[in-house]
Structure formats: structure tokens, C-alpha cells
Chain A
């Protein structure tokens, strides 16, 4: 029996399309509004959901996700609440894979094993931890794999062929190809370059490959899907839309969820075709 992540990629592959992977930060702009948004994503076309665990110092993220993390933290988000949100989501959706993404320190402080136990219990399917390269696999990756929690690794334009093998060794679920050398939501990926790299990675693994870090528009999403990627990740663009629908008191306007789901729908529509 495969993991929820594997099953979802099998389904989208069978349907002859790339999967849409959406990223939002847990607790942005507050826990209640954030949960409402996450619950609305699958129906709008999100095949997999990445939920950011907010951190004060998100070194690999651009301005949109930085601001998003700080908003969540100011509203009182923490690891316990993030896991509670997943639990709540899972009660109404047992199919959509949930991947927690973030930085190591909040996990380390929570306790790595305690985190894995609790994440597993609430129905988290995979982890993407930006600052845990293969060199630090003993910290969380190896224990996660032992519990059959997918540990999704980032491959980047600087990951050369020799290193790619190292990156793929303990990767499971899918490979996240970072389409630019830079931080999230900044530069625009070059579909030709992405296509070459996706082919290179595919030659070395059977895992699905999702591409992200600079994808903002339906047109870009389609170009990435056409490059041979099995999934397209969109994050900063969703968060930028959210930012336009926030009230002064830090709450979401009633227009926020529809605005974000509209974009998700058009992204999903673009990669189906």
C-alpha cells in the first residue's frame, strides 16, 4: 500500500496531467481563517497541500512568505496549533496529502521524535525541511523514513549529477525541484532549463518530480507542467493574493477564500490542458 502522496501522483499520472501542489502558511493571518482556506483548497483543484510551519527566520523564503510567517506568529501560531489544524482538516478529508514544510528549529525544540509521532497521528504525510540537507539526515530524515513518513528533498540548479544521487538516496514521496537559484517567489523559472533538469532527475529516480519556487501564473504553471514535471508547486502567488484581502485587525476579509480559490482553479485548469 503506497502513501497518500504516492497514490495521489498515481491518480494524476493516470489522468494524464500534472498535480497542483499549493502552499500556504499555517495560521496566516490567523488560525481560523487559515483553516477555512486550507479546507477550501482541494475542491478548488489543489491535489496536494503544503502547509508552512511559520518560523521567525525563513532564510530560503522571499518577502511574501516571510511576511506570511510573521503574520502567523503574531497571531499566536505555534507547532501545537499547526498540528491541530492538520487534525481538523483530516477529519473532513482523508485523501488529500498534507505536507508540512519549514525550518528545523521549531521541530528540534518541539522534540524531533515527539514531532514525528504527533505529525503521524494527525495525518501528516510528508515533510519538507529546507535546512536539513542530506548531510544532516540523522536529525530527522532517517527517523521519519523509519515511521513511513515521506521525507521530500529539494534538488536545485546547483545540485550536480554526483550530488543528485546523494540527494535522492533518502528521498521519498516526490522530489521537489527548485526551479531557480534564489528564494521563494522571486525569479521566474526558465521552462527549457527546467525541462532539461527534470529529464536528468527522471533518469535517476522513479519518484514523481514537482517543480516550484518561482511559479506564479497559470501560464507559467502550464509551461512547467509541459516541461515534464509531475507536479507544479505554487505558494508565494497565493499568499500575495491573500495579502490583498486582509483587514486592518489582522482578520481575513470574506473575499479572501474566494480570491485564493479562484487563482487555484485557474492554475489547476491551466495544467489540465
Chain B
């Protein structure tokens, strides 16, 4: 399938929860009735103006939406080409785009009468957002987090504890995000009656990829309006980083049918895709089935999942949302990668030139912006999703730069 074959890129998923061959519902039978129930509840909520109104009210007064669209003047000067705008989702309450999805899902959990929340987290941004909404709505919350990630994301672990969440260290497998997701799924199977699983990205069994995308699409919807107000036209290029791909899908989806707009997803290249130590599922992986969906995965020739590597714990996942896999195969979105050291350089550059400390995740996107901006003129408009702030990363960055900030 090529992009010329399609009238729209925004119609998916189909009734089987598929985007082309990707997506689906590859889960154990115990979860299947629950997933069908969730799908029904979500479809009903979408049609309910009261649900929409409550979500919008929380977005405005709790999250602080709309997030600004900011003209990054000094980076624009520095790169000497395209005009660069940041969609400032790092200014949201809790410091990233993750809250957009968590508010939507917890409202759904309440509608479904669920009384217990579980989640997985890698960098801890999603975990913090889940713990936050659980505190706000008074529901007990258990967050599964790889033991390795707990060690490298201590500030977020403490934040979650302050918010009242129980953090369960996951030592099974290799103790990272994929294992945390396995463990959350195991918890869910054992507590199907009362528990709602808030998945943090556009992956997992249908309806999660579509549902999380819908909750994150507020990013792209606002960007359209704000760009029209700022420049009187739509942008030429969109850039966002991709781990599972929720911030990127949120920005991209409302623009998918504007076929003149170039859309670029930036995966984590780790130490370089050629080294094998990376998290670039599309660039360096193959289609497979994990965590309820068919999508591109990092895996060996026997179908065993390979650990991802990235300087950013939030991108450190061996899969990607199924809709991204489909957009990759149809060619509508281009997927590239940026390495750890490129992200680190962009992190420092943005901090010094814009006074914005970005998270390491969008630093990957910014690194790519730095590659393409000089190739265009000032009439070319780029929007990059600044999906998280870097406070959580300062310890890790200090370690990479060889600075001892605790001493």
C-alpha cells in the first residue's frame, strides 16, 4: 500500500482494532472480556457530552491547557533556516504530555466503576501522571517499574510515593519497561474485577492505541489553531520523538490528511543503530506480536524480544505503537533516529539558547530539527513537540557529562 492509495490516514483502526496488519487484540482469554468491555465503555464515553466537558474542564484548570506554541527565536537563528516552533507540552501539570491521556483514562475508569488503578512506567513520567490523577480522584494506585529504571529515575520514584502510589520494582526479565508492562498485565489478569490498567502509550491491545491517541490528539488540534493564529497557515514540517509514540501520535494525527505537511518521527538511536544498542524499533526491528498488538519490535531471529537501549528511559522500549508501524509502511510518516550523544548535545543547546531544559526524550526530536532546519529557508515552518521537561534528567545528564552534582 502506498500513500496515494488512501483517501484518508485518519480512519483507523478497523473493527478488529487493526491499522493495516498492525494492532489487534493478542491477549490471554482472561483479559478478552475486559478489553471488549473497555472498548464499549470508551465508545459510549466518546459520545457523551458530559464526559467531554469534564475532560475539557480538567485540561483547562488542572493541566493548564492549551499549552503554548512558542517561537524558538534563538534556536531558529542558531540553525539559520526554518522557523522553529515548540509545542510546549512540557509546561503541563506533571511536566509532560502524559497527563493528557491519564485524565481521559481515569475518567473512563470511574465511569466503569473501577476502584483500583495500575500502570507501568519507564522514565517515570507516565507513572507520575497516573499517580497524580489517582491522588486527584482518590483511587489506590500501583505502578510497576523496572528495577533498573527505579535506580536511574529516583526523583520520579519519590514523586510517585509522595502522591500515594505503591511502586512495585520489577526484577523479572531484564527489569526494564517491557518487563514492567508484563508485570502490569499479570496484575490485571489477577484483578480483573476491580482494576483499570492505564497504559501510557499508543500500544497494547485494541482499544488502547486508538484511545490513547485520541486523548493525546489535543496536542495536534491546538497546534493547528495556534499556528493559524501565529502564521496564518499550517506548518510545513512536524517533528516528535518516539518511544511507544504517544506524544508523536498526539501531534501527528490531526495533520495526517494534510498531505503537503512533512511528518517526521525520531526514534532513539542509542549508541547507534548499527551497534545493536538502540531503541529504534522501526529503523532496526521487524514486525512481531507483543503486549497485545502486532507492531515493529526489536527481536532476534527466533522471535525473542531484545532489550532496547537509550539514554532516555522514556524511549527505552523494544516496540512502538501499531499505528506508527502502519504509517511507516504506508510512507505517510518518515521515521529517523538520533543517538544518545546527539540528544545530549541538543539538550545542552536548548538549555543555553532558549532557557528551556528539555527532557532527554524531545532532545532526540530537537537533534533532528537541527539537521533539517538549515536545509530550508525562513518561509519553512517546523513544529516540534516539546513533550517533557528535563528536571527529571539532570542527574543522568550530569553523570554523562562527568559532573558530580551530589558531591
Chain A interfacial positions (CB closer than 8 Å to B): 55-60, 62-63, 66, 70, 73, 78-79, 103-110, 130-136, 153-160, 163, 167, 178, 181-183, 186-187
Closest to B16 in A: A135
Q: How far is the CB of A138 from chain B (nearest CB, A)?
A: 9
Mark each residue of chain B from 65 to 78: 1 if its CB lies under 8 Å from any CB of chain A, else 0.
00000000000000
Kindly identify, within residues 272 to 303 of chain B, every residue whose CB is under 8 Å from any CB belonging to chain A.
286, 288-292, 294, 297, 299, 301-303
Determine if B190 is an interface residue (Cβ-Cβ < 8 Å): yes
Q: List 13 A-B contacts (CB under 8 A).
A: A57-B178, A66-B173, A73-B304, A104-B289, A105-B289, A105-B297, A108-B289, A109-B286, A136-B26, A156-B29, A178-B30, A181-B30, A183-B189
Residues of B within 8 A of A154 (CB): 28-30
A-B contacts besides A106-B302, A108-B288, A134-B32, 4 pairs, CB < 8 Å: A55-B304, A57-B182, A163-B32, A182-B190
Contacts of B162 in A (CB 8 A): none
In angstroms, Cα B52 to Cα A52, docked, is: 46
Q: How distant is A212 from chain B, measured CB to nearest CB, in Å?
A: 13
Q: Would you list which residues of chain B between 242 and 293 have a CB under 8 Å from chain A?
A: 286, 288-292
- B370 at the binding interface (Cβ < 8 Å): no
Report how far A55 CA is from B34 CA in the complex, Å.
Answer: 25
A106→B304 CA distance, assembly (Å): 7
Residue from the list B29, B290, B301 in contact with A153, Cβ < 8 A: B29
- Selected contact of B32 from candidates A63, A79, A133, CB within 8 Å: A133
Contacts between chains A and B (CB distance < 8 A), count: 118
Q: Are A158 and B30 in contact (CB under 8 A)?
A: yes
In the complex, the 6 A-B pairs of residues with the closest C-beta atoms, listed nearest first: A109-B303, A106-B303, A182-B190, A78-B302, A156-B30, A105-B303
Number of contacting residues on B, CB 8 A?
Answer: 38
- Asked if B98 is at the interface of the complex by the 8 Å CB criterion, the answer is no
Q: Which one of B16, B28, B288 has the highest number of Cβ atoms from chain A below 10 Å of its Cβ?
A: B28
Question: Is there a chain A Cβ closer than 8 Å to B192's Cβ?
Answer: yes
Does B290 contact A105, Cβ atoms closer than 8 Å? yes
Is B28 within 8 A of A59, CB to CB? yes
Q: Which residues of B contact A186 (CB under 8 A)?
A: 190
Task: Provide the bound-state CA to CA distance between A59 and B291, in Å.
Answer: 8
Nearest CB of chain B from residue A84's CB, rounded to whole Å: 14
Q: Nearest CB to that of B190 among chain A residues? A: A182
A155 to B28, CA, bound (A): 10
For B17, the closest partner residue in chain A by CB is A135
Q: Least Cβ distance of B23 to chain A in Å? A: 11
Whether B138 sits at the interface, judged by CB under 8 Å, is no
Interface residues of B in 3-36 (CB under 8 A from A): 16, 24-34
Q: A109-B301, A109-B303 are in contact. Are A178 and B29 (CB under 8 A)?
A: yes
Tell yes or no: B40 within 8 A of A by CB.
Answer: no
Cα of A154 to Cα of B31 in the assembled complex, Å = 12
Which residues of the partner chain B approach A135 to less than 8 Å between Cβ atoms? 16, 24-25, 32
Are A108 and B303 within 8 A (Cβ)?
yes
Among A57, A103, A158, the residue within 8 A (CB) of B173 is A57
Given contacts A57-B173, A73-B304, A183-B189, contact A109 B288 (CB under 8 A): yes
Q: Which residues of B contact A66 (CB under 8 A)?
A: 172-173
8 A Cβ contacts from B168-195 to A: 172-173, 178-179, 182, 185-186, 189-193
Cα distance, A13 to B348, chains bound together (Å): 73
Instruction: Tell me the bound Cα distance from A258 to B178 in angstroms.
Output: 37
B227, CB-defined interface residue at 8 Å = no
Q: Which residues of A contact B299 (CB under 8 A)?
A: 105, 109
- The answer to the question of B336 belonging to the interface, with a C-beta cut-off of 8 Å to chain A, is no
Kindly state the separation between the CA atoms of A134 and B28 in the bound complex, as whole angstroms.
Answer: 10
Contacts of A58 in B (CB 8 A): 182
Compute how far the CA of A40 lies from the CA of B4 in the bound complex, rounded to whole angstroms: 60
Judge whether B305 is part of the interface by a CB distance below 8 angstroms: yes
Q: Please report the C-alpha to C-alpha distance between residue A79 and residue B292 in the assembled complex, in whole angstroms.
A: 21
Neighbouring B residues of A163 by C-beta, 8 Å: 32-33
Which partner residue on chain B sits nearest A160 by CB separation? B33
**Contact between chains at B303 and A59 (CB < 8 Å):** no
Which B residues are CB-close (under 8 A) to A107? 303
Residue of A nearest to B297 (CB): A105
Evaluate contact between B28 and A133: CB separation under 8 angstroms: yes
Contact in complex: A187, B290 (CB < 8 Å): no
Nearest A residue (CB) for B193: A181
- In Å, the complex CA distance between A187 and B172 comes to 19
Q: A187 CA to B189 CA in the complex, in Å?
A: 12
Residue of A whose beta carbon sits closest to that of B26? A131
Give, as a whole number of angstroms, the nearest-CB distance from B320 to chain A. Answer: 15
Bound-state Cα–Cα, A73 to B292, Å: 22
Alpha-carbon gap, A157 to B178, bound state (A):
27
CB B231 to nearest CB in A, in angstroms, measures 45
Question: Which of B27, B29, B192 has its CB near the most chain A CB atoms (within 10 A)?
Answer: B29
Residues of A within 8 A of B304 (CB): 55-56, 73, 78, 106
Residues of B within 8 A of A133 (CB): 25-29, 32
Contact call B288/A159, Cβ cutoff below 8 A: no
B186 to A, closest residue via Cβ: A183
Q: Which residues on the A side are within 8 Å of B26 (C-beta)?
A: 104, 131-133, 136
A14 to chain B, nearest CB (A): 30
Contact between chains at B29 and A57 (CB < 8 Å): no
Name B303's contact: one of A62, A110, A178 (CB within 8 Å).
Answer: A110
Q: How far is the CA of A156 from the CA of B304 in the complex (A)?
A: 27
What distance in Å separates the Cβ of A110 from its nearest Cβ neighbour in chain B? 7
Query: Is A57's CB under 8 angstroms from B190's CB?
Result: no
Query: Are B29 and A155 neighbours in the complex by a CB distance under 8 Å?
Result: yes
Task: Give the distance in Å from the alpha carbon of A178 to the alpha carbon of B31 in the complex.
Answer: 12
- Complex Cα distance, B299 from A110, in Å, reads 12
Find the residue from A70, A73, A107, A131 having the highest chain B CB count within 10 A: A131
Q: Chain B residues near A130: list those with CB within 8 A.
A: 28
Q: How far is the CA of A178 from the CA of B294 in the complex (A)?
A: 25
Query: Shortest distance in angstroms between A182's beta carbon and chain B's nearest beta carbon?
Result: 4
